[in-house]
Amino acid sequence: MTMTISRQTVIPITELEQSAFCRSDGNLRTQTLEEEFKAGVRWQKIPTRYLKLSPEEIDSGIAEARKALGNQVVLLGHHYQREDVIKYADFRGDSYLLSKQAAAVKEARAIVFCGVHFMAETADILSSDRQSVILPNMAAGCSMADMANIEQVEDCWDDLGSVLGETGQVIPITYMNSTAAIKALCGRNNGIVCTSSNADRAFKWAYERGERVLFLPDQHLGRNTALKMGIPETDMVVWNPFKQMGGLTPEQIRRARVILWQGHCSVHTRFTTRQIEDARKKYPDVKVIVHPECTRETVAAADYVGSTEYIQKTVNAAPAGSVWGVGTEINMVSRLARENPDKTVFCLDPVVCPCATMYRIHPAYVLWVLEGLVAGLVINRIEVPAGTKADARIALDRMLEISE
Ligand code: 13P
Ligand code: SF4
């Protein structure tokens, strides 16, 4: 039995860098990498000849490389990718759809994942061994995923076992936004992975097998999902990984039906009920749609809640003339607005704040890895170790089964 020891609270560097690209002038036009490096975040090193390339030069380079590679390469793009990257994606989607796509792509020998690290890891777990998954910029992590590391989660798991014993029946559910090692821990311990589009099914699945859920790492998605299932907040506790025993008493742990890891997304926790009130004042007929990583209060004040794919489908299917206040990442909201010129679509947050890690997939990085493939080099391969892969796959397969 191990016990967590109190550690100093550590804020992930990705979280500290989150506001680097925020701006009030709304201008998110792609610049040369050299210019964008001035944002002051960590970027992966790249050969200097890519630094000064204009978006037009990059565009023709990518077209040439793709022509040479043909169907040997497939590009997957998450909805939060900037326009100058998502335009190259063969498939776009939310985390769930992209994981399914990664499992379905058979002929390509390389999958270039325009998204963040945990998504590329998942693609590596689900794709075949003869395929390589490539993340164009290795610094493209996720600040929420960085709020839970495997050592902390193992400590938590042991502590819960010490309080609840064998019969405690805690079912671990990890959000896709977590490391492969955490997914593997869930796979080994009767747990499951979920995304924002199937979290309620994962909870239902878990309660058919146990009394309690440990939900990692996003407390907001966990809380919002549990509330939707009728579990009152008094039955939930928050596990602080920097405190002994999560900062909880054994009694609190025994009474809890949901143990929420203390993690959050800094992009989605920016959305507030005040912004929703302002939107309703300005547009009395506005429909407010938000992502479930927003806080409980924001979700309660919204009209619709769902994954990025759900948000996209709902807005696209809405009647002409309708007005939409959206609470999710700005690159996606701007695209929705552009693709729905017959509707009014705007971001609830007046400050333009992209996800700083998603934004690190600059098109120059895409060109770099594609030119590598043309030259026979696999740059930035994401490879999950075999043991972790096998266990994580169990938890991912369970998710795919309940989502059919
Ligand atoms: P989706 O699965 O809804 O695309 O969400 C992924 C994500 O990282 C949201 O912040
Ligand atoms: Fe992670 Fe939030 Fe960015 Fe999604 S929007 S990738 S949760 S930091």
Cβ partners under 8 Å of residue 223, min gap 6: 233, 236, 258, 260, 296
Q: Which atom of ligand 2 is nearest to the CA of 328?
A: 5
Q: What is the DSSP code string of 293-352? A: TS-HHHHHH-SEE--HHHHHHHHHHSPTT-EEEEES-HHHHHHHHHH-TTSEEEESSSSB
Please choose from 100, 101, 175, 177 the residue to mutate so as to test ligand 1's pocket, defined by most ligand atoms within 8 A of CB.
177
Q: Which atom of ligand 2 is nearest to the CA of 14?
A: 8
Please report the pLDDT score of residue 27 as a whole number: 79
Please report the pLDDT score of residue 20 as a whole number: 87
Average pLDDT by consecutive 10-residue portion of the chain (404 residues)? Answer: 64 91 83 93 96 96 98 97 97 94 92 98 96 97 97 96 84 98 97 97 97 97 98 98 97 97 97 98 98 98 97 98 98 97 97 94 98 98 98 97 87
Q: Which ligand is nearest to the CA of 269?
A: 2
* Structural domain that includes position 284: 268-347
218 lines ligand 1 (CB under 6 A): no
Same domain, 261 and 282: no
Q: Which of 179, 159, 178 is nearest to 168 (CA)?
A: 159
Please report the pLDDT score of residue 404 as a whole number: 65
Domain CATH code at residue 372? 3.40.50.10800
Q: Which atom of ligand 1 is nearest to the CA of 329?
A: 10
- The tally of domains found in the chain comes to 3
Same domain, 288 and 315: yes
Please report the pLDDT score of residue 24 as a whole number: 79
**291, part of any domain:** yes
Q: Are 93 and 341 in contact (CB under 8 A)?
A: no
Please choose from 94, 177, 195 the residue to mutate so as to test ligand 2's pocket, defined by most ligand atoms within 8 A of CB.
177
Question: Tokens for 41?
Answer: 């975040």
Same domain, 193 and 304: no
**15, part of any domain:** no
Please report the pLDDT score of residue 28 as a whole number: 82
Please choose from 14, 18, 137, 143 the residue to mutate so as to test ligand 2's pocket, defined by most ligand atoms within 8 A of CB.
143
